[in-house]
Structure 1
Amino acid sequence: MNKKVKPYLITRSLQPENQESPIHFIKNMETPLHYFYRRNHFPYPVLNQYNYWLQVAVGQSKKRYIHLSELLAMPATTLTVPLECAGNKRAKFSTKVYGEQWEDGAISQGEWTGVPLRNLLKDTELTMEAQEIVFEGADRGKKPGNEGLVPYKRSLPLEKALHPDTLVAYKYNNKPLTVKHGHPFRLIVPNWYAMASVKWLQKIEIIKHKFTGPFQTEDYMYYPNKNNNQEKVPVTTLNVNSTIQQPLNYSILNSGTHKVEGIAWTGQGKIKEVQVSFDNGQTWTKANLSSNGDSVYSWIHWSLVCEFNNKGEYTILSRAVDSSGRVQPHTPFWNRKGYGFNAVSTVHVKVE
């Protein structure tokens, strides 16, 4: 009896656990949970009953607590949102950088259900002096250059935090979050790289100053210079991007008709078109785009049927264009920590 062959997550590290989605074989709009990529800075937190309470604080003086049961009773919002690690495709930089050597699979997508953050804060005093909102997860560990155990904490500017689609989510694909993906609740920040979508959320704090934690001002910054920190800027909005899912890189194909297909996404507007080239970018052909329904944020599937009648080696390129006019560049923006890679997707094939 033939058994159905299934892909597996691609392991990058075990402690902490970092694994890629088998993105080249994901055809659905919603990534099944067991194929959702895993990105961790520390070991998984040990959770107890106290983690079902979410603390909301204004400085040190005013605090209140919201239980998961209260969250479940509030009007909910469901959004299809991709989460992409800022280091996705880091392995593709030609001048190599240190860090997890992600290929194409540090991205996954599905339906997130939760309560808009601004609804949780509507009874909270937001004064004119408030500048940012800080989010702290239950995960913590040692970080070079810092004393003791450091929690994973990040902030959002008020405008982004109070956007109606910034959610405190408790479900993924209509099922409760699992521990490996942020149970009991996590932040979901559409259009931003996933470092902003804090898992195992346990505390929300409104502050009157700029937050300067290590995951805010040391990591997740673009450092364009190799030997100094000048001209650094924070990682925020997703770049326009695409990935060729099929054929796989360095495949051997029979001559004839083949489908080139993949996904494209952006953090600004919508994907307007995807172009494919077979002559190293001298000419481009528009691919067919599938509908992503009413989703504002989701990736889009694209495909192009091509004839490979001549034997030989081919280089296939794809580039996405979004509605704000951004186009995938031929050369990526190199930065010391390897964030935001979005150069044209490249696949080499041989036709025999």
Structure 2
Amino acid sequence: MSDGRVRPHFTTRGLIPEIQETPILFLRGSIYDEGYWFLRNHFQYPDLTSASGNLLIGGAVSKAFVIKLEDLKRLPSQTITVPLICAGNQRAEFRPKVYGEQWEEGAVSQGVWTGVPLKELLSIAGLKEDALEVVFTGEDRGTTPNVDEVVPYERSLPMNKALHPDTLVAYEYNGQPIPYKHGYPLRLIVPNWYGMASVKWLQQITVVDQPYEGPFQTDDYVYYPHPHTDEGKSPVTTIRVNSIIQQPLDYSIIDEGAHVIVGLAWSGEGQIEEVEISFDKGNTWEAVTLAQDRTKRFAWTEWQYIWKTPSKGTYPIQTRAKDSNGNVQPEREYWNRKGYGYNAIHRIDVKVK
């Protein structure tokens, strides 16, 4: 029986495989339960078995081994708050437009992940001198363009990122087992990188001595800056500094008076230092109020600004964020033909009546 409360709903971007955009513009708070986590799948959900909790670590190591989920949980663990952001978030805002899921702002969510640092497992296995990258294989699989066979979802990390102490093999989300749709029983969590790196339904970890060239590494999740050539291509990795306005909504009509403008900001290259807001197409900027917990070094930043409308009329509202490494949202997006990494200055328009 309904309790009478009105709740926002997902926007469906695909059914097979399932792709759901979270109603981010209506959500406040730093931790999202599974009911509001966006979904981005490449294939159908995998059929899990009793062996799905067994993780194989092998390749260019001294001692390949299989570890069971219950044994993994006995190893030293770490808990971190991490947002996962689809590399295609805000793809709908690219001009000229590009093909792919037409995400708006809602391919992003945040939660608390608990797991074993990957470096702990690699230490047990013992890396060989020629170890170059670490490949992660999920249980989900299917067909993809330009490949003639069924392939798993699989990606690699360079060794320095694999050995980062905050790269986790996670088994809990918000203090509970990871939900099935989000990677149960094991998921790789790679802070500061776009979500494609955080492989779900993790089945196998393979250390390799040659550059990995799977389809989700060298075709998808690559920046192609030109419409018809591969010249200048580069891999999609670190989350770019960004901010969004959650309320008011774009092209909404509001009354004269005081209004609280709220939003989010994030970056994979440092913590958010500043978010500014403009009402005159960027001629002048004012600082907003940040709500931050500096101990959560990967978490996004909530912000707000009290706006006293000057008069009736139409107004553009823009925001730009700056991180601790000096990265600032650009005026224009970095256009690329697959539509990754959108982070141009955010803008909405409102009418004051």
TM bin (shorter chain)? over 0.9
5 Å-filtered alignment, 1:261-300, equals 261-300=262-301
CA–CA distance in structure 1, aligned partners of residues 98 and 294 of structure 2: 38
Q: Does 1:107 align with 2:77?
A: no
Q: CA deviation at 1:59?
A: 4.5
* Residue of structure 2 equivalent to 1:156: 157
- Tell me which residue corresponds to 2:145: 144
Letter in 1 for 2:350: V
Secondary structure in 1 aligned to 2:114?
strand
How far apart, CA to CA, are the structure 2 residues paired with 1:226 and 1:2? 51
CA distance in 2, matches of 1:161, 1:61: 17
1:53-132 to structure 2, matched below 5 A, reads 53-59=54-60, 63-132=64-133
TM-superposed deviation, 1:148: 1.8
**2:33 match:** 32
Structure 1 residue 61 displacement after superposition:
9.2
Q: Secondary structure of the residue that 2:124 maps to in structure 1? A: coil
Amino acid at match of 1:224: P
CA contact (8 A) 1:16 1:41 kept: yes
Q: CA deviation at 1:292?
A: 2.2
One-letter code aligned to 1:336: R
- The 8 Å contact of residues 132 and 211 in structure 1, kept in 2 or not, is answered as yes
Q: Give, as a single letter, the amino acid of the residue that structure 1 aligns with 2:156.
A: S
> Secondary structure, in 3 states, of the residue corresponding to 1:51?
coil
Q: Find the aligned partners of 1:210 and 1:176 in 2 and give their Cα distance.
A: 33
Please name the residue that 1:197 is paired with.
Answer: 198
Going from structure 1 to structure 2, the CA distance change for 1:323 and 1:60 (only over 3 Å counts) comes to: closer
1:180 aligns with 2:172: no
Contact 2:62 2:126 (C-alpha < 8 Å) held by counterparts: no
Aligned residues with identical type, % of pairs: 51
**Match for residue 236 of structure 1?**
237
Offset, 1:5? 0.8
Which residue type is aligned with residue 48 of structure 1? T
Give yes or no for contact 2:257–2:309 (8 Å, CA) kept in 1.
yes
Amino acid at match of 1:110: G
How many corresponding residue pairs? 352
1:31 Cα deviation after fit: 1.2
Q: How does 1:201-212 map to 2 (within 5 A)?
A: 201-212=202-213
SS of the residue 2:216 aligns to:
helix
1:111 corresponds to which letter in structure 2? V
Structure 1, residues 162-194: CA drift from partner, whole Å, max 9, x if none?
100000001111111111000000000000001
Q: What is the SS of the residue equivalent to 2:105?
A: coil
1:7: which partner in 2?
8
Matched, 1:248 2:218: no
- SS in structure 1 opposite 2:315? strand
RMSD: 1.3
- SS of the equivalent of 2:25 reads helix
User: What is the SS of the residue equivalent to 2:51?
Assistant: helix
Asked if structure 1 preserves the Cα contact closer than 8 Å seen for 2:38 and 2:108, the reply is yes
For 2:279 and 2:61, locate their aligned partners in 1 and report how far apart those are by CA, in whole Å: 60
Query: How far is the alpha carbon of 1:83 from its aligned partner?
Result: 0.3
Distance in 1, matches of 2:88 and 2:81, equals 21
Do 1:292 and 1:299's aligned partners in 2 also have CA atoms closer than 8 Å?
no
In 1, Cα distance between the equivalents of 2:216 and 2:63?
A: 25
* Matches of 1:57 and 1:290, distance apart in 2: 43
TM score, norm. by length of structure 1: 0.98
Change (3 A) 1:89 1:271: same
